[in-house]
């Protein structure tokens, strides 16, 4: 079974939602047969690289709230994250473009390190003092290498704005086609969708239902019963 998850590194509910989903998946009896694929979704796709602002400033401008309201929201998110065992800095975080991070996540996918890089980016953005936005490409290189990627390959992607750009845009277009207007957005076997950072119990129910509703394989063969094949006992050998 495949679970696809559309997220953005700048999305605090994606950070919390991933922890809740991971908790449900860890307890799922068939977890070893579940493939998890992370898809790209930018909350701020038109923000230019280098355009970095404090999170509170971004929130007040985008949602028309006061500084006090924005800070109260961050404090609440910090409490929600702590309940899932996550660290969350409720003060002095910043916000910027995540496009390069999504491109690196596609590189990481090719090398089987996508989950590790996503976790590293989340921790860096939400829990660590150093910024993933204002310190330049070398900060991303550092995080990607720690997640198991080759530094030269990472630098090559960051130096080429076209590298994996089509893959990021394709993920975002697919999200729109599936009806996703926000993240996190979970799609189980292209049959069920779960929107938002739901409780772990909801994810557990969704996994169980999607697993149980998988369509059985329909075998197509000719009237004679099928062609010759090989199996554990050997291969069918034509006899005169």
Residue range 80-113, pLDDT digits in tens: 999 999 999 999 999 999 999 999 999 999 999 9
Residue 183 CA to residue 240 CA, distance in Å, equals 63
Residue 71 CA to residue 75 CA, distance in Å, equals 6
The sign one gets for the Cα dihedral 4, 10, 11, 17 is positive
Residue 142 CA to residue 69 CA, distance in Å, equals 34
pLDDT digits (tens, 9 = 90+) for 5-59: 999 999 999 999 999 999 999 999 999 999 999 999 999 999 999 999 999 999 9
Number of H helices and E strands in the chain, helices first, is 9, 8
Give the best-scoring range by mean pLDDT among 134-143, 214-223, 230-239. 134-143
- Locate 88 and state its tokens: 């969350």
Considering only CA atoms, give the Rg of the chain. 22
* pTM score: 0.89
Residue 7 CA to residue 43 CA, distance in Å, equals 9
pLDDT digits (tens, 9 = 90+) for 167-176: 999 999 999 9
Reduced to 3 states (helix: H, G, I; strand: E, B; else coil), residue 202 is helix
User: Phi and psi (nearest 5°) for 51?
Assistant: -90, 95
Alpha-helix residue ranges (DSSP H) falling in 45-113? 55-63, 67-83, 99-110
Span 211-240, average pLDDT: 68
- Locate 12 and state its tokens: 């605090």
């Amino acid at each position: 079974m495949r679970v696809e998850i559309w997220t953005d590194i700048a999305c605090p509910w994606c950070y919390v939602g991933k922890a809740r989903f991971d908790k449900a998946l860890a307890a799922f009896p068939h977890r070893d047969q579940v493939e998890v694929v992370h898809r790209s979704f930018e909350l701020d796709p038109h923000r230019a690289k280098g355009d970095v602002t404090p999170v509170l400033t971004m929130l007040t401008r985008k949602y028309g709230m006061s500084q006090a309201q924005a800070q109260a929201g961050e404090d609440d998110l910090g409490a929600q994250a702590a309940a899932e065992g996550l660290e969350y800095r409720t003060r002095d975080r910043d916000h910027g473009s995540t496009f390069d991070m999504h491109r690196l996540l596609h590189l990481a996918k090719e090398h089987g390190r996508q989950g590790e890089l996503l976790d590293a980016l989340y921790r860096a953005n939400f829990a660590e003092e150093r910024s993933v936005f204002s310190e330049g490409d070398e900060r991303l290189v550092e995080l990607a290498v720690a997640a198991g990627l080759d530094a030269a390959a990472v630098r090559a992607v960051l130096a080429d704005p076209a590298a994996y750009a089509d893959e990021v845009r394709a993920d975002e277009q697919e999200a729109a086609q599936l009806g996703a207007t926000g993240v996190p957005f979970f799609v189980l076997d292209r049959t069920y969708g779960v929107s938002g950072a739901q409780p772990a119990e909801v994810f557990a129910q969704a996994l169980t239902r999607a697993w149980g509703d998988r369509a059985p394989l329909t075998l197509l063969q000719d009237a004679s019963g099928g062609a010759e094949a090989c199996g554990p006992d050997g291969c069918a050998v034509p006899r005169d």
